[in-house]
């Protein structure tokens, strides 16, 4: 068995099975769509128990409709012991009582559909909960029919350690600290868990596992769900020899990722999933593959429509740039040139085939305005600038709940203020085994921990931000007194209103969804600049193409004025007075900005104020 297969260069297509796969009327609908992610336990609580729920979400559907989003991605609401806040599923076909009932979910689905929005469910099938009936059976005996539904291995011979203590089958570490193996006393073997010990990995090599997963997915689609965001889906194919990983200096465990990220059969499995679940359905659906460690080259294969695997990837390259060696507990200052190089490479790599997700934050990332902007003096301006820069790239943008309000990171005091298993496990390991002090670990945790994104949505300035009438499961950010939805929804100058404008621009301007992307000023450490271009359609009279459209997008990632030279991007003859840039006989108008326009600039320059965004539009000859 090879340790890591190269991605297939030809789609693993069954010709007979694919004949009815073009039923949907608009397979590219998601190019001009915007996705809004809801983390249910932190969105809105309807019953005062301090945990967000489905009725709470239903009560905010008009808010989402006003924002203008097209798709709601719902983080897991399935039955779960909540070891990892729902990403440990014990029943795929029911709603956890914390969040409501199947009837509530049906009401939510219908409410979204009636408002022109779709519902995408978070799907976690790399692993289950250890309380799922499949695993309960699997661990009951070595000869149980479901034993091979998970990864079981005997202890490795180790004269210095007995079973359950240093005899793990390999040296892999868990993403949540500690070894990736847990010893089971009943059968005397270890099971693999790439995440929590309560999240055993499913064995996708077993066709019965795949069939059960596909049956469950079909069940949800039959109930009206519009697709899935699939958690760490590129982990489902593993090198079956499970070899040791390289162990870096100072680390307790080896890195197993080369042996389970985008493994030998991943394309086969995803194509099979497409055929068994999505092919031939009569409405547009969405499949999003969350894929840590995925490369641009792999993403082209995963998202090429002809290969029929997933519609888009959710990758992490740009959110690892402010970390030493990809270690989130060793944060460093982000260089804008690194961000441009990364995002630009993805734009170029998927220009001809494939599709990418665009995001600054989600439930696993720190708050966007605190991480990439300025959450102090320029919070509102930088939140707006970040929205414009991200949403005008090529790809499908995602808005994480509260991002549209400019919500910020939380200041946690003691480790007892945190709730995230990743944080708690790391703190214990770092203070117990790695020799760090409590103060050192807390300082390292602060910027990028996941609980920053999991504080409740701030609906108003009341106690607990209008999230709950009870005691919230995690503290509400005190700045809800001035950062909240009630202050913003009807304010035309708010962050919320700016997000509405940016979302509407994607809906109304084909160049945003379909245009080419050209990075400008790649070496500038303060200004992010790019051009979008879309050729005009051919004239009906046969006299040639009609003029196309270009956008020039400029964003200042600093708290100081910055002057931009326009000629390098083909805008050099422009006249930057009032709200227009003249170029030849085609006028270029300022169509979006986060400051009142004051006419600053000359015929070949534009001056950007702190955290300023300017978007110009013009027609151009093809």
Q: Are 94 and 78 contacting, i.e. CB atoms less than 8 angstroms apart?
A: yes
**Going by DSSP bridges, is the β-strand pair 327-331/323-324 parallel, antiparallel, or unpaired?**
antiparallel
φ/ψ of 477, rounded to 5, equals: -65, 130
In Å, the largest CA–CA distance within the chain is 84
Strand partners, 488: none
Q: What residue ranges in 247-343 does DSSP mark as E strands? A: 286-290, 312-314, 323-324, 327-331
Backbone angles phi, psi at 129, to 5 degrees: -75, 155
Closest CA to 477 of 421, 409, 423: 409
Of 84, 189, 231, 309, the catalytic one is 231
Burial label for 269, CB within 10 Å (0-12, 13-18, 19+), is buried
Contacts of 508 (CB under 8 A, 6+ apart): none
With beta carbons less than 8 A apart as the criterion, state whether 597 and 532 touch: no
Compute the distance between CA of residue 539 and CA of residue 546 in angstroms, rounded to an integer: 6
Say if residues 487 and 496 touch (Cβ distance below 8 Å).
no
List phi, psi (to 5°) of 321: -75, -20
Distance, CA of 394 to CA of 314 (rounded, Å): 14
The verdict on whether 231 is a catalytic residue reads yes
Candidates 83, 168, 290, 487; catalytic one: 290
Is-contact 167 234, C-beta < 8 A? Answer: no
| Residue 615, beta-bridge partner list | 553, 592
Q: Which helix (H) or strand (E) holds 502?
A: helix 495-508
Provide the angle, in degrees to the nearest 10, between the axes of the packed helices 296-303 and 266-273.
Answer: 30
Could you give the CA distance from residue 263 to residue 556 in angstroms, rounded to a whole number? 40
Q: Mark whether 290 is an active-site residue.
A: yes
Number of CB atoms found within 10 A of residue 164's CB: 15
Torsion from C-alpha of 357, 363, 366, 368, nearest 10 degrees: 50
Q: What is the 8-class DSSP label of residue 107?
A: H
CA dist 228 to 287, 555, 603, Å?
A: 5, 33, 49
CB 303 within 8 A of CB 394: no
Hey, which residues are catalytic here?
231, 290
């Amino acid at each position: 068995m090879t340790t890591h297969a190269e991605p297939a260069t030809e789609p693993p297509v069954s010709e007979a099975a694919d004949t009815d796969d073009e039923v949907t009327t608009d397979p590219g609908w998601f190019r001009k769509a915007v996705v809004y992610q809801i983390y249910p336990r932190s969105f809105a609580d309807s019953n005062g128990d301090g945990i967000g729920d489905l009725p709470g979400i239903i009560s905010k559907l008009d808010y989402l409709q006003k924002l203008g989003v097209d798709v709601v991605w719902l983080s897991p609401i399935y039955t779960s012991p909540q070891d990892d806040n729902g990403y440990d599923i014990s029943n795929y076909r029911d709603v956890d009582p914390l969040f409501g009932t199947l009837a509530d979910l049906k009401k939510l689905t219908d409410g979204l559909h009636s408002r022109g929005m779709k519902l995408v469910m978070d799907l976690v099938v790399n692993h289950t909960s250890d309380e799922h009936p499949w695993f309960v059976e699997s661990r009951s005996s070595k000869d149980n029919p479901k034993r091979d539904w998970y990864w079981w291995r005997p202890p490795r011979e180790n004269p210095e350690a007995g079973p359950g203590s240093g005899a793990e089958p390999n040296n892999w570490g868990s993403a949540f600290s500690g070894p990736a193996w847990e010893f089971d006393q009943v059968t005397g073997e270890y099971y693999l868990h790439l995440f929590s010990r309560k999240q055993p990995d499913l064995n996708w090599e077993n066709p019965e596992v795949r069939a059960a997963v596909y049956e469950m997915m079909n069940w949800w689609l039959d109930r009206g769900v519009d697709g899935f965001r699939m958690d760490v889906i590129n982990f489902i194919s593993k090198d079956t020899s499970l070899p040791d990983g390289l162990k870096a200096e100072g680390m307790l465990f080896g890195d197993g990722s080369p042996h389970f990220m985008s493994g030998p059969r991943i394309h086969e499995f995803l194509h099979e999933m497409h055929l068994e679940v999505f092919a031939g359905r009569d409405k547009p659906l969405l499949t999003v593959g969350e894929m840590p460690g995925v490369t641009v080259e792999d993403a082209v294969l995963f998202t090429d429509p002809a290969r029929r695997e997933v519609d888009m990837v959710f990758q992490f390259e740009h959110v690892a740039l402010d970390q030493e060696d990809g270690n989130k507990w060793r944060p460093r200052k982000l260089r804008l040139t690194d961000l441009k190089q990364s995002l630009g490479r993805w734009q170029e790599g998927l220009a001809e085939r494939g599709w990418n997700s665009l995001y600054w934050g989600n439930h696993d990332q720190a708050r966007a305005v605190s991480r990439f902007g300025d959450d102090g003096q320029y919070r509102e301006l930088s939140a707006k600038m970040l929205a414009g820069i991200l949403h005008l790239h090529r790809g499908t943008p995602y808005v994480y709940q509260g991002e549209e309000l400019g919500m910020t990171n939380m200041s946690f005091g003691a480790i007892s203020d945190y709730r995230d298993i990743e944080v708690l496990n790391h703190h214990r390991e770092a203070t117990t085994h790695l020799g760090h002090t409590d103060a050192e670990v807390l300082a390292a945790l602060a910027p990028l921990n996941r609980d920053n994104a999991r504080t409740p949505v701030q609906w108003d300035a009341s106690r607990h931000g209008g999230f709950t009438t009870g005691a919230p499961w995690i503290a509400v950010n005190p700045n809800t007194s001035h950062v909240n939805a009630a202050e913003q929804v009807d304010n035309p100058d708010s962050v919320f209103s700016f997000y509405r404008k940016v979302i509407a621009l994607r809906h109304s301007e084909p160049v945003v969804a379909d245009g080419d992307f050209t990075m400008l000023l790649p070496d500038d450490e303060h200004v992010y600049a790019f051009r979008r271009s879309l050729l005009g359609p051919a004239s009906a009279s046969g006299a040639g193409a009609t003029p196309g459209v270009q956008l020039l997008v400029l964003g200042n990632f600093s708290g100081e004025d910055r002057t931009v030279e326009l000629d390098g991007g083909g805008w050099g003859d422009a006249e930057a007075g009032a709200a227009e840039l003249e170029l030849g006989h085609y006028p270029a108008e300022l169509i979006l900005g986060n400051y009142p326009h004051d006419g600053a600039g000359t015929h070949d320059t534009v001056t950007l104020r702190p955290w300023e965004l300017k978007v110009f539009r013009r027609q151009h000859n093809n």
